[in-house]
Chain A
Amino acid sequence: MRQTNSIIKTQKRLLAVSVSIAFLFCALFVRLIVLQLALGGDLTRRAAEQWYRDLPLSAPRGGIYARGGEMLAGNEKAYDVYVRPNAVTEKERAAETIADVLDMSVSSAEEMLSRRVGEVTLARRVSPETAEKLEAAELAGIYCVASHKRVYPYGSMLSKVIGFTNIDGDGQNGIEGYYDEYLSGTDGYVYADADIAGRETDGETHYVPAIAGCDLTLTVDAEIQSYAESAVMAAHSEWQAKSCSAIVMDVDTGGIAALASYPSYDLNDVPRNDAELLNLLSKNALITDVYEPGSTFKIFTTAAALECGVTGDGSRYYCGGSMSVDGQRIRCWRTAGHGSQDLAEGVKNSCNCVFMSLALSLGVERFYDKIEQFGFGKKTNVDFFGESGGIVMDESVVKTVDLARIGFGQAIAVTPLQLVTAVCAAVNGGTLYEPYFLAEARSPSGDVIYRREPKAVAKPITESTSAKLRELLVGVVEDGGGTKAQVEGIKIGGKTGTAQKYENGAVASGKYVSSFVGFAPADDPEYAVLFIVDEPSGYTYYGSLTAAPYAGRIFSRIADGEGWTRAEEEEKTYIRMPDVVGSDMAEAVKALEDAGLNVETVGSGVAASTVPAAGETVAEGDVVLVRGRDE
């Protein structure tokens, strides 16, 4: 009986074991239902992420073109080289080949091949020849992926405007940066079935094509730009200046036809490793930095005075070499004074006293109205990063002395771009346009997706004031301080400026910003040119001597390029440079002026030397320099 009980017990226990095992099987089956059915979709999606090797198909970046279709920035075929270390089979040969082809040391190549990561980038944007060499070595685990390298066919031309991209092809600054969204396309991908090491398996390959970026056409005219480039380069070398720059603007639209600056750099060889140098070279100071405009600002004082009717052809002004404002004596640049002048003579002579008088008779409110309408003290909204708005004293704190000084271009800071934009408004009939670079954007298929229309933002003066202003400024170039900007047969208007630089709040001795701003053809202006020589070295620092000739040179070449009809050549009278060395400065100046020359002076006392030297041929009305020496 006991035996039977025991057997029955064993049978029961065997049954219990069966039931337990069956139950556990059922429990696991429920778990599988959860995994395979309930979570199946989500798990499949997650799994799919690892099943494909996605090679990027880099989208070609849009090109940047000049107005005439010249390519300023484009793409060149290049390759990126990757390695998947765990797919490399012949490590030693791979390391040697990489070291040889990519010009690195064998040890660093080995280190890269040994990294415990999925993928290592060996080199970016290598040439097709290099990629071919690597492909020819047939190394497992090393991949060359087609990509694009940014190229700039014109090298350093317009470099500060175009800007550059980083190695990934993302726009960093300039147009490349500002219009990155237009330029950068959308990368595509190749999805290939792959094993865990990235080796492609026999599965399918899916393509998602890349979408190219948009092409941009700038307002910049490649020819005018090249004139400006050669002018700034020549000026830089002649005056040993810190930098020389020029802006050429379409007077009737605000479109920037050229913007050149030297020293510059080659966009194909960006000094990426020297951040300080790169920052210095790539910075577009014409837009981002301010300077004290000096006499060129007198254009706007005149414009405002004419517009508000506080001056006219009948007005006369007296300059005794200085003027007392609120008890403070402010000197004219010509210590001897200009005597009695009408407005036109005052503008020609650039007599500070005349402009102080104009500013004072305008008063703060009216003058400030016009300053604001000309766009000073606020950004122009040019399509460029980092624009500065300039510095204009707050209206509420302006004292009479400040007002007088603003009248001749001191106590105010503007960007070169602001200045030339305002000059365009002053001479184009009175309309202030927003300056811009981008004329047009086209999709990869060639459809125009954006076209810039000139945008008028203010009307500071009327057409008749503008006409009067043009006439006055033509006088400056014909027989005033701007004569060196003259171009044969082309009527040019303009104004010179020589401003002392400030460093740490004090006048920096011997440091000047010399400039000339002009427009042509004067009767119906097409282009305005601002030429700036920053810190010319030596005694020749006047804008009339340093900047005006180069502005003239640019105008001359534009005239040729655009086929402007030149007027009948006027007979120029040439005279011999009188010998004034040794005579008193005032007498020397008088003697030269009597000979029909425009005179700039440096120093005081006794005339020590002249440029040009005595006896040389000089055109009547030309600007000459007398250097004085204290006895």
Chain B
Amino acid sequence: MNAKSVESSDRNERLRSIDVPLTVATALMLAFGVVMVYSASSYSAEVNYGNEYFFMTKQIVGCVGGAASMTLFALLDYRKLKKARWFILGVGVLLLALVLIPGVGVENYGARRWLNLGVTTLQSSEVAKVCFVVFAAAYMSDRQKKMTTVRGWLPLTAVGLGMCVLIMLEPSMSVTICLALVMLTMLVMGGMRLLHMLFVLLPLVAAAVVLVLVEPYRLSRLFAFLDPWSSPLGEGYQLLQSYYALGSGGLFGVGLFNSRQKYLYLPFAESDFIFSVIGEELGLIGCAAVMAGYCFIVFRLISIARRAADRFGCYIAGGMAALVGIQVLINIAVVSGCIPPTGIPLPLISSGSSALVVFCGGIGICQSVRLRSHASVRALL
């Protein structure tokens, strides 16, 4: 390959097309989310707000915001994010800290997770997760050779654990676990030795045990998930209601908008337990389609990572793939009673505009990586 042809191919391919299948899949997920949020929340919205479109309207606004942020971040050269890594990390940590200040953070269901922005509320941890992914990608791409050593990964792990502690203080166990798993996945991508992984995992397991011991209600929630029938009106309630929804859905579901569980039986039907409503209305077939959709998105993100022009782009796309995949896995595992119930929304579908904007923004960054992935670099792979 001579220099000229490289030059011309560079010019031609300097701005590759965005990943169209990923865009379509993301848009479909968002649209499906709007429909499901409406279906799951119309009754509770009518009862609580006197407006059956309450959550749906917010979801549409969130989608618009998401589309805007996706476009914005796709156009923005992702490499600028690398330079701003400390600022981004600072924003993430600041948001997590602010939310803990009484008066600034809005308390809901016994946890302080939202920042009051006047017109809307912002869930700090949603933003912080993506901030961490960007920072970790920047950090690892700078120190790729050292990542196999303890000195290489330890500072990043410390930052990640620090953020986990802040999230834990809200408290939000599920986001903590999600972030910790994303961090581990990124460390694996970054080349961390698998033996070293144990050094990270062991303290994490120990921390989990300590958390359970410090707040015994977590223990009872743990048991509730193992045998929800033993406390059908107490700890096992949420899970049973989710089971009822999934179980009555069967193979083909009871039909869109026909959920019975959404009549306030299923708590958080429009957010954390929206997958139960999907299972009830659209059955196993619908669940399979949704899971396939997520798998598709994750694999497209991984493929962007594999074709990225630089390590930063690679790690950022890999991190986003991990973030989406892990959060979906945790959500479905909770809903289907595989792990203790913990509140975590389903990306792109669950009600919640800050999460929508953040996930769309994350996917936009990945699109930016794809736009700027270089044929010459790909040739190296």
Contact = CB atoms under 8 A, between A and B. Distances in A.
Interface of A: 4, 6-7, 9-11, 13-14, 16-18, 21-22, 24-25, 28-29, 31-33, 35-37, 39-44, 46-48, 50-51, 193-197, 199, 201, 203
Contacts of A201: 43, 263
B273 interface: no
A197 B145 CA distance: 61
B82 to A, nearest CB: 17
Residue from A4, A7, A22, A48 whose CB has the most chain B CB atoms within 10 Å: A7
A44 B263 contact: no
Given A32-B279, A35-B243, A195-B265, A17 B251 contact: no
B380 A7 contact: yes
A39 B247 contact: yes
B264 A195 contact: yes
A25 B250 CA distance: 19
A13 B194 CA distance: 11
Kindly state the interface size class of chain B when it binds its partner: 35 or more
Given A21-B295, A195-B265, A36 B43 contact: no
A199 to B, nearest CB: 8
A10 B314 contact: yes
Contact of B144 (A6, A24, A41, A195): A6
B250 A13 contact: no
B348 interface: no
B299 interface: yes
B264 A197 contact: yes
B283 A36 contact: yes
A33 B381 CA distance: 40
Contacts of A35: 243, 246-247, 279, 336-337
Interface of B: 43, 47, 144-145, 185, 188-191, 240, 243-251, 260-261, 263-265, 279, 283-284, 287-288, 291, 294-295, 298-299, 302, 305-306, 311, 314, 318, 321-322, 325-326, 329, 332-333, 336-338, 380-381
6 contacts: A7-B381, A11-B381, A17-B188, A36-B283, A48-B248, A201-B263
Contacts of B287: 29, 32, 36
Contact of B47 (A39, A44, A195): A195
B235 to A, nearest CB: 17
Given A35-B243, A193-B260, A9 B191 contact: yes
B247 A31 contact: no
Contacts of A194: 263
B338 A28 contact: yes
Contacts of A21: 295, 298, 321-322, 325-326, 329
A17 B291 contact: no
A620 to B, nearest CB: 86
B248 A43 contact: yes
Given A10-B191, A32-B287, A35-B246, A51 B260 contact: yes
Contact of A6 (B185, B191, B337): B191
Given A36-B251, A36-B284, A195-B263, A43 B318 contact: no
A28 B265 contact: no
Nearest to B299: A18
Nearest to A33: B284
A195 B43 contact: yes
A31 B239 CA distance: 14
A196 B43 CA distance: 11
A141 to B, nearest CB: 13
A6 B311 CA distance: 11
**Which 4 pairs of residues, A with B, have the shortest CB-CB distance?**
A43-B247, A47-B244, A195-B263, A196-B264
Contact of B318 (A14, A24, A40, A47): A14
A18 B299 CA distance: 7
Contacts of A17: 185, 188-189, 302, 318, 321-322
Contacts of B243: 35, 39, 43
A43 B381 contact: no
A556 B22 CA distance: 106
Given A32-B288, A47-B260, 10 more contacts: A25-B291, A28-B332, A32-B279, A40-B246, A40-B248, A44-B244, A44-B247, A47-B247, A50-B265, A201-B43
A203 B47 CA distance: 16
Contacts of A47: 244-245, 247-248, 260-261, 265
Contact of A31 (B188, B283, B298, B336): B336
A13 B284 contact: no
Contact of A24 (B240, B263, B329, B380): B329
B244 A43 contact: yes
A2 to B, nearest CB: 8
Contacts of A50: 244, 265
A32 B265 contact: no
B189 A37 contact: no
A331 B199 CA distance: 112
Nearest to A21: B325
Contacts of B336: 28, 31-32, 35
B147 to A, nearest CB: 9
